Amino acid sequence: MAPIGDISAERLGGLLRTGFLGRHILAEELLESTNLTAAALAPASEEGLLVLADQQSGGRGRNGRKWASPPGRNLYFSLVLKPCCHPSAVPQLAIVAALSISRALERLGVMGAGVKWPNDIHCNRRKLCGILCSMSSLGDRAEYAIAGIGLNVNMEELDFPESLRCTATSLLMETGRRMDRALVLAEALNSLEEDYSLWKKHCSLSPFMERWDGMDVLKGKTIVAEHGGGIVAGRADGIEASGLLRLETADGLKLISAGDTHIVNQGQA
């Protein structure tokens, strides 16, 4: 792996405690999207391949949005996973990844991060990290899954596109400290391997429910969930072990499978 900025194979290797995540790496200064490259390589790759870019020309977010991906500041990476579970369980990986990265951030002394369904990490009501999962399935088995992670590390407020300045944040903005990207990446991978291995045994979020509950920024809040052009309002009541959001609405409990969520009356969350 050629070094990209402050991230070299030697430094990363010295910090990793994983058995398979990040033990094979493709790192490039510029990719269109690490998710696209990882998906192209996945069929012939071993589980755990890490695709890393210093900059993305077409970084993708959920629902067709763009992911701001300037060079030298943040982490943009995708992991090739081969979980052997039913395809319907794969979206749970985004929830596992959000919990894992939040734990890694805590270990790095970043306090106050919370998880926001379906798969964001927020700090002080601003978005710090986004996760985008995709998969390919063969019949009733997932052939592979791609977990793509964008974590804002050393962005200053003015580095964000204007439209994101009131809603996005970074580790630098939250802690006042410029962070070592190799260390943040290694801690994220160490934590992800631990949690992914646990999830893979169950193909269910049951071992993670307590952790989600303790970090859920929506819990008990009045929210709106947007999905498929419709909007449902209600009080968020955590998640099911399948990953569905529990929403208490005027018409009773609704289980939401996908979409964006916003807290009502607290600005856009």
Contacts with ligand BTN, residue ranges (CB under 6 A)? 33-35, 56, 59-62, 65, 67, 76-78, 120, 130-132, 148-150
The two beta strands, 113-116 and 75-81, are unpaired
The CB-of-127 to ligand BTN minimum distance in angstroms stands at: 7
Contact 130, 120 (CB under 8 A): yes
Nearer to ligand BTN among residue 5 and residue 14 (C-beta): 5
The CB-of-139 to ligand BTN minimum distance in angstroms stands at: 27
Contacting residues for 265 by C-beta, under 8 A, at least 6 apart = 222
Nearer to ligand BTN among residue 64 and residue 176 (C-beta): 64
Nearer to ligand BTN among residue 50 and residue 248 (C-beta): 50
Contacting residues for 139 by C-beta, under 8 A, at least 6 apart = none
How many Cβ atoms sit within 10 Å of the Cβ of residue 263?
18
The CB-of-135 to ligand BTN minimum distance in angstroms stands at: 14
Nearer to ligand BTN among residue 59 and residue 234 (C-beta): 59
Helices (H), the chain: 9-15, 34-41, 92-107, 171-175, 181-202, 209-215
Instruction: Name the 3-class secondary structure at 132.
Output: strand
Nearer to ligand BTN among residue 10 and residue 191 (C-beta): 191
Nearer to ligand BTN among residue 100 and residue 139 (C-beta): 100
How many Cβ atoms sit within 10 Å of the Cβ of residue 265?
6
Identity of the amino acid at 226: E
The CB-of-250 to ligand BTN minimum distance in angstroms stands at: 29
Nearer to ligand BTN among residue 162 and residue 251 (C-beta): 162
Residue nearest to ligand BTN (CB): 130
The CB-of-145 to ligand BTN minimum distance in angstroms stands at: 13
The CB-of-149 to ligand BTN minimum distance in angstroms stands at: 6
How is the beta sheet containing 252-256 ordered, strand by strand?
Answer: 252-256, 245-249, 230-239, 222-227, 260-263
| CA dist list (Å): 40 to 37, 73, 216 | 5, 26, 34
The CB-of-119 to ligand BTN minimum distance in angstroms stands at: 7
